[in-house]
Homo-oligomer: A and B are copies of this chain.
Amino acid sequence: MFVFMTKLMLKTLQMVNTDKPPIWFMRQAGRYLPEYRELRAKAGDFLTMCYTPDYATEVTLQPIRRFGFDAAILFSDILVTPDALGQDVKFIPGQGPVLGELNLDALSLDNIHTHLDPVYSAIGQIRTQLDKEGFTDTTLIGFAGSPLTVATYMIEGRGTKDFMQFKKFLYGKPAEFDRLIDLLIECTAEYLIKQVDAGAEVLQLFESWAGAIGGFAFEKYVIETNQKIISKVKAVHPHIPIIGFPKAAGYYLKEYMTKTGIDALGCDFTLPLNFIRDELQTVMPVQGNLDPGILYAGGDILEREVKNICDTLGHKPYIFNLGHGIHKDTPITHVEQALKIIRG
């Protein structure tokens, strides 16, 4: 175990206090980095990058080399699961994801691992490359989108503001929706298990659209689905730490935290710091929650807010992160400024 315990991120996830918090940023491998944009221009298609281990490895390493983050997160996307299940998924520059029509009968678990094999290869290659470049203490995070969040894209066919087609399906065709969700639970669990097999040391479940629904649907399609996935993954890998990130989960947050089986909670930027400290961090390690808008703005407010977060949450197990993915136009200097303050 000693080799693990030199890793700041894993220490924190095991509730060991550290002098400084481990740091990583959601979407840290991305468009705000000039070296990313350069590689992306060469690779062309976004999914091609995800499915080409050399590209995925290079892109995953980029922010580690530049900023020395304590964790590297696999470069991929939450929509590789519907893609693996057989729905057509494309990323159109300037538009984001565009999915083909959802046909439940055409989806199948049969070929998911063949399809996702390049991702597993990438994970192995990233670990090797991290070690080779001296980042032996950098923790490798694997991830997946949670079923509800992924289902919003599968049903709407793209990002949505009001989730109306999604809700019409969820509330209007409950049996079909359950079939879709069950398929996603199975696919996501298997995908995450294989990520750990391949070398992921921590997993994060992104429930980015937890705030889209409420009531019984939240219980059934957020809490239960996340719980089932975590239970399946832990049955195979009992010690893998899993971070849950249920964005905008509102007053279901504590129930999510205690019922799903997560080991640490990702906090979005709307959560008050005192509330996180007094009511969430008392239960488990927390991660978050700098507003990416403040990182984007920079200046005095960035300095003040980063200090405020570290002062409030830094006395118990805590992972510094943003409260949402980094914005593509964030200046590199702002990231450097934030890191300098956190590292003290």
Which B residues lie within 8 Å of A248 (CB)?
211, 248, 250, 270
Find the B residue at minimum CB distance from A274.
B251
User: Is the Cβ of A301 less than 8 Å from the Cβ of B213?
Assistant: no
Partner of A214, one of B250, B291, B302: B291
Stretch at the interface among A136-144, A160-168, A335-343: A160-168
Contacts known (A214-B269, A327-B162); A294 close to B171, Cβ less than 8 A:
yes
0/1 string, A234-273, CB within 8 A of B gives 1 = 0000000000000010111000000000000000011111
Map CB proximity to B onto A196-227 as digits: 1 under 8 Å, 0 otherwise: 00000000000000010111001000000000
Bound-complex Cα distance A161 to B162 (A): 11
Residue among B167, B269, B293, B327 making CB contact with A297, cutoff 8 Å: B167
Contact between B272 and A214, CB atoms less than 8 A apart: yes
A215 partner, pick from B213, B215, B291, B298, beta carbons under 8 A:
B291
Interchain CB contact under 8 A, A164 and B327: yes
In angstroms, Cα B165 to Cα A292, docked, is: 12
Q: Tell me if A299 is interfacial: C-beta within 8 Å of chain B.
A: yes
A270 CA / B250 CA spacing, docked (Å): 7
- Return the contact of A291 from the options B159, B167, B174, B298 (Cβ within 8 A): B167
Q: In A314-344, which residues have CB < 8 Å from any B CB? A: 323-324, 327, 329
How many copies of the chain does the oligomer comprise?
Answer: 2
CB distance from A152 to the nearest CB of B (A): 11
Q: In the complex, what residue of chain B is closest to A219 when comparing beta carbons?
A: B272
CB of A34 within 8 Å of the partner chain = no
In the complex, A146 Cα to B121 Cα: how many Å?
51
Given the known interface contacts A167-B293, A248-B248, the answer about A270 and B214 at a Cβ–Cβ threshold of 8 Å is yes
Task: Say yes or no: is A2 at the interface (Cβ < 8 Å to chain B).
Answer: no
Q: CB of A36 within 8 A of chain B?
A: no
Instruction: Please tell me which one of the listed residues B163, B171, B271, B273 contacts residue A299 in the complex, with CB atoms under 8 A apart.
Output: B171
Residues of B within 8 A of A270 (CB): 211, 213-214, 218, 248, 250-251
Q: Which residue of chain B has the shortest Cβ distance to A161 in the bound complex? A: B161
> Nearest chain B CB to A77's CB is how many angstroms away?
17
Q: Which residues of B contact A214 (CB under 8 A)?
A: 269-272, 289, 291, 323
Q: Is the CB of A168 within 8 A of B293?
A: yes
| A:270-313 near B, CB below 8 Å | 270-273, 275, 289, 291-294, 296-299, 301-302, 305, 308
Contact of A171 among B172, B213, B215, B301 (CB under 8 A): B301
Q: Are B297 and A271 in contact, with the CB atoms below 8 A?
A: no
A272 touches B252 (CB 8 A): yes
Min CB gap A289→B, angstroms: 8
- How distant is the Cα of A172 from the Cα of B293 in the complex, in angstroms? 10
The 8 A-B residue pairs with the shortest CB-CB distance in the complex, in nearest-first order:
A167-B293, A171-B297, A172-B297, A214-B270, A171-B301, A250-B270, A168-B297, A251-B275
A164-B329, A218-B270 known; 4 other A-B pairs, CB under 8 Å?
Answer: A162-B324, A214-B269, A251-B271, A251-B275
10 contacts between A and B (CB under 8 A): A162-B324, A162-B327, A164-B329, A167-B291, A171-B293, A211-B248, A214-B270, A215-B272, A218-B270, A248-B250
